[in-house]
Amino acid sequence: MLRISVTLLLCAATFARADYMDHFVLREDVGPHKAPYLGDAQLVVIPIEVAGFPPIDLAALQHFFSPDDPNGFVKYYEAASLGRYHPRVTVAPKVSYATCPLPAAQFPTCAVARGDINAFTAGMDMMRDVIKKSDQAGFDFAPYDVNGRKGTADGWIDGVMLLTNVPFGGIAFPFGFFNRGDNLNGSNSGPLVVDGIKIGHFAIAGENDQFVMVHEFGHVLGLTDLYDESGKYDGLYLSVMGTWGYDPNIPLPDAETRFRLRWANWHQVQGRQRVVIHPAETTGEVYRLGTGDEYFLVENRGPGDAFDRSLPERGLAVFHVDRTVKLGGQEGQFVERILDCVNCDPWHPYIRLLQADGLFEIEHSGRFGRGDLFGAGSFLRPDPRAVAVSELNAVNSSNLYSGAVSGLKLDDVRLLADGSIEVTLDAPETGQCDEKLCAEGEGCAPVTCGEPEKKTGCSVGEGLWPAFGLLLLEQGLRRRKQRVLRRP
């Protein structure tokens, strides 16, 4: 079974912008399958310069990967994660090649075309050679493992990026999964091992394109591709893993991606709530309507100072998420996702961006633009006919893909002067507050669920997350005590 999968990959998608990650179907595989995505991390970027191609601008590279560039890699991941993920990137000494490191017979111009079968083995040989050369030149990989599943060094490198100047798009590559050759430590399989540190996967970008690296590194963190590899439409807008064209206006991750990375401030809606949603770039707020595998996420997106700069206006981005679409956590399943990508069906992808204007331009191979975010006067309501959105029924609604009327609602949108957005959200009155992404830590549980009790003081709303409940209880007791004291 595994062999078949590998063969399929060889035939279909080698060196396409492929991924191997699961968007957190599994959360416990940091190390062998994912780089740590919370806390401090020490990353390495290795410039690979081949003579005869435009030289790498090392000063520009240093700047982009330093915390000083307000629009750079580090600031991007810090902003996207609300500071929960702190990468620091070391630009390793350049590895130089006098000639193309790929076999001349197969790659006469050193260019690697998408889907080139020959590139598979040759590319792995090159990755191995670059690490070997860096190691032999005295670069010590040991300091680049400070983080892991438990937040401490785990024997796996925190992240390696290879940036080349040859014509080559980009890829994140699970080297350890495919390696059947030298691991630089006496074995003939699995991850590379240098200075006692395992390297299981690489993010690679060509043509000196640092912006591509921001996307490829997203794969290393565990994210799958959200653009449409099949070409039916563009795929998911408003996402670093989606349709972004690698221009300097880096989009934030979409709400589902931040939610799964535990980089969101997650508010679970229960009952009817009038809420103020603050800009995603500063607060990370995500409102979730519905539970289980299928639900809607709402966040406030607009042109920010550093990121999301290409957005035409501010409004609520509404995503319909269905986790049952082609996601799987088994090792090697990323191969199936490459052949049949999660966002390739415009009418029922894993993550669909709803458009307030109801014109379905994105699904019809058009582009995201003005009127697509939910602004003043827009709404999302159930469709009582109990049909799902589809090509034959291009009508906005909060119905599920089964056609079932979810009862979820978004209405009375008001844009406030400070960039916040007021909206009324509706979800079922009960049973919305019990889900968690993980047992403990930031982003594991909703920061609110349902409207906090305002008037009764001492009573605790059902299902409020425990700490918040305790806080209210404490305040209630205090208030009661004050009332007692004040009694004449």
Interface residues with Zn ion (CB under 5 A) are 17, 225
Q: State the minimum distance, in angstroms, from the CB of residue 92 to Zn ion.
A: 23
The HSE-up count of residue 215 (CA atoms within 13 Å, CB side) is 29
342: its two tokens? 């999660």
Nearest residue (CB) to Zn ion, 21 versus 433? 21
CA–CA distance, 244 with 242 (Å, rounded to integer): 6
200 and 32 Cβ atoms separated by less than 8 Å:
yes
247: its two tokens? 């221009």
94 and 70 Cβ atoms separated by less than 8 Å:
no
Q: State the minimum distance, in angstroms, from the CB of residue 196 to Zn ion.
A: 30
Q: State the minimum distance, in angstroms, from the CB of residue 417 to Zn ion.
A: 38
Q: In what order do the strands lie in the sheet with 421-426?
A: 272-277, 421-426, 409-415
Q: State the minimum distance, in angstroms, from the CB of residue 218 to Zn ion.
A: 7
CA–CA distance, 255 with 288 (Å, rounded to integer): 9
CA–CA distance, 131 with 139 (Å, rounded to integer): 9
Nearest residue (CB) to Zn ion, 164 versus 398? 164
Q: State the minimum distance, in angstroms, from the CB of residue 169 to Zn ion.
A: 9
132: its two tokens? 């070997």
Q: State the minimum distance, in angstroms, from the CB of residue 159 to Zn ion.
A: 15
Nearest residue (CB) to Zn ion, 20 versus 139? 20
317 and 373 Cβ atoms separated by less than 8 Å:
yes
210 and 64 Cβ atoms separated by less than 8 Å:
yes
Nearest residue (CB) to Zn ion, 172 versus 192? 172
CA–CA distance, 22 with 111 (Å, rounded to integer): 29
The SS3 of residue 108 is coil
Q: State the minimum distance, in angstroms, from the CB of residue 13 to Zn ion.
A: 11
44 and 89 Cβ atoms separated by less than 8 Å:
yes
32 and 26 Cβ atoms separated by less than 8 Å:
no
CA–CA distance, 343 with 320 (Å, rounded to integer): 12
C-alpha to C-alpha distances, 94 to 49, 74, 90, 97, nearest whole angstrom = 7, 20, 12, 10
Nearest residue (CB) to Zn ion, 20 versus 374? 20
Nearest residue (CB) to Zn ion, 343 versus 397? 343
Beta strands in 51-180 (DSSP E): 85-91, 95-97, 160-164, 170-173
Nearest residue (CB) to Zn ion, 206 versus 461? 206
- Beta carbons within 8 Å of 483's beta carbon, 6+ residues apart: none
Q: State the minimum distance, in angstroms, from the CB of residue 217 to Zn ion.
A: 10
- The DSSP letter of residue 480 is H
CA–CA distance, 318 with 358 (Å, rounded to integer): 12
CA–CA distance, 90 with 74 (Å, rounded to integer): 11
Nearest residue (CB) to Zn ion, 250 versus 472? 250
Q: Where are the alpha helices (DSSP H) in 65-209?
A: 73-80, 119-136, 175-178
Nearest residue (CB) to Zn ion, 17 versus 352? 17
CA–CA distance, 37 with 43 (Å, rounded to integer): 12
The residue behind tokens 């912006």 is: 211
Q: State the minimum distance, in angstroms, from the CB of residue 254 to Zn ion.
A: 14
CA–CA distance, 466 with 101 (Å, rounded to integer): 58
Q: State the minimum distance, in angstroms, from the CB of residue 163 to Zn ion.
A: 16
Nearest residue (CB) to Zn ion, 17 versus 75? 17
- The DSSP letter of residue 436 is -
Q: State the minimum distance, in angstroms, from the CB of residue 201 to Zn ion.
A: 13
Nearest residue (CB) to Zn ion, 18 versus 373? 18
Nearest residue (CB) to Zn ion, 47 versus 170? 170
Q: State the minimum distance, in angstroms, from the CB of residue 301 to Zn ion.
A: 21
